[in-house]
Structure 1
Amino acid sequence: MDLTKIKNILTKRFGDTCIVDEELQGLQPALIVHADFLLDICKELRQNKETWFDFLSCISAIDYGPNEGFGVVYHLASIPHKTQLTLKVKLDDLRDESILPSIDSVSSVWRTADWHEREAYDLVGVFFNGHPDLRRILLPDDWKGYPLRRDYQDAESYHGIPIN
Structure 2
Amino acid sequence: MSTGPNDPGETGTSKDDGERTGAAQSSSEAGGAALDEQRAAGGENPETGVRPASQDGEAPMAATRTRSGMFGVRGTGDTSGFGGLRLPGYAPAPAERPFGGWFDEIADELGAALDQRGIDREAIRQITIDRGEITFYVQRDRLADVARTFRDDPGLRFEFCSGVSGVDYSAPDGEPVESPLHVVYHLLSMTYRRRIRLEVALDFDDPHVPSVVDTYPTADWHERETWDMFGVIFDGHPSLTRILMPDDWEGHPQRKSYPLGGIPVEYKGAEIPPPDERRAYS
Does TM, scored on the shorter chain, surpass 0.5?
yes
Amino acid at match of 1:27: G
**1:30 maps to which residue?**
135
User: Is contact 1:46–1:54 with CA below 8 Å preserved after alignment?
Assistant: yes
Percent sequence identity is 34
Q: Cα distance 1:50–1:145, how it changes in 2: closer, same or farther (>3 A)?
A: same
**1:53 maps to which residue?**
158
> How do residues 71-90 of structure 1 correspond to structure 2 at under 5 angstroms?
71-90=182-201
C-alpha distance in structure 2 between counterparts of 1:121 and 1:109, whole Å: 18
For residues 49-106 of structure 1, what are the alpha-carbon distances to aligned partners after superposition, in whole Å with 9 as ceiling and x for unaligned? 1111011111111111153320001000000111111111111233xxxxx5110000
C-alpha distance in structure 1 between counterparts of 2:244 and 2:137, whole Å: 28
**2:253 maps to which residue?**
147
Q: Gaps (5+ residues) in structure 1?
A: 95-99
C-alpha distance in structure 2 between counterparts of 1:33 and 1:155, whole Å: 35
C-alpha distance in structure 2 between counterparts of 1:163 and 1:38, whole Å: 45
For residues 130-160 of structure 1, what are the alpha-carbon distances to aligned partners after superposition, in whole Å with 9 as ceiling and x for unaligned? 00010000000000100000000223589xx
Greater C-alpha Rg: 2
**2:278 maps to which residue?**
none
1:137 to 216, 219, 243: 243
| Larger CA deviation: 27-36 vs 7-16 | 7-16
C-alpha distance in structure 1 between counterparts of 2:230 and 2:124, whole Å: 24
Q: Cα distance 1:57–1:156, how it changes in 2: closer, same or farther (>3 A)?
A: same
C-alpha distance in structure 2 between counterparts of 1:63 and 1:111, whole Å: 25
Amino acid at match of 1:87: L
1:5 to 100, 105, 129: 105
C-alpha distance in structure 1 between counterparts of 2:258 and 2:250, whole Å: 10
C-alpha distance in structure 2 between counterparts of 1:127 and 1:90, whole Å: 13
The secondary structure found in structure 2 opposite 1:53 is coil
> How do residues 65-76 of structure 1 correspond to structure 2 at under 5 angstroms?
65=170, 67-68=176-177, 69-76=180-187
Amino acid at match of 1:41: V
For residues 11-33 of structure 1, what are the alpha-carbon distances to aligned partners after superposition, in whole Å with 9 as ceiling and x for unaligned? 34222311111111123111111
C-alpha distance in structure 2 between counterparts of 1:26 and 1:39, whole Å: 26
C-alpha distance in structure 1 between counterparts of 2:271 and 2:217, whole Å: 35
User: Is contact 1:155–1:163 with CA below 8 Å preserved after alignment?
Assistant: no
Backbone CA RMSD of aligned residues: 2.1
Residue 217 (structure 2) pairs with residue 111 (structure 1)? yes
C-alpha distance in structure 1 between counterparts of 2:228 and 2:258, whole Å: 13
User: Is contact 2:110–2:156 with CA below 8 Å preserved after alignment?
Assistant: no
| Larger CA deviation: 5-14 vs 57-66 | 5-14
C-alpha distance in structure 2 between counterparts of 1:163 and 1:17, whole Å: 53
C-alpha distance in structure 1 between counterparts of 2:209 and 2:195, whole Å: 22
Q: Give 1 or 2: higher strand fraction.
A: 1
Q: Cα distance 1:162–1:41, how it changes in 2: closer, same or farther (>3 A)?
A: farther
**2:81 maps to which residue?**
none
**2:79 maps to which residue?**
none
TM-score, structure 1 normalization = 0.87
Q: Cα distance 1:145–1:7, how it changes in 2: closer, same or farther (>3 A)?
A: same
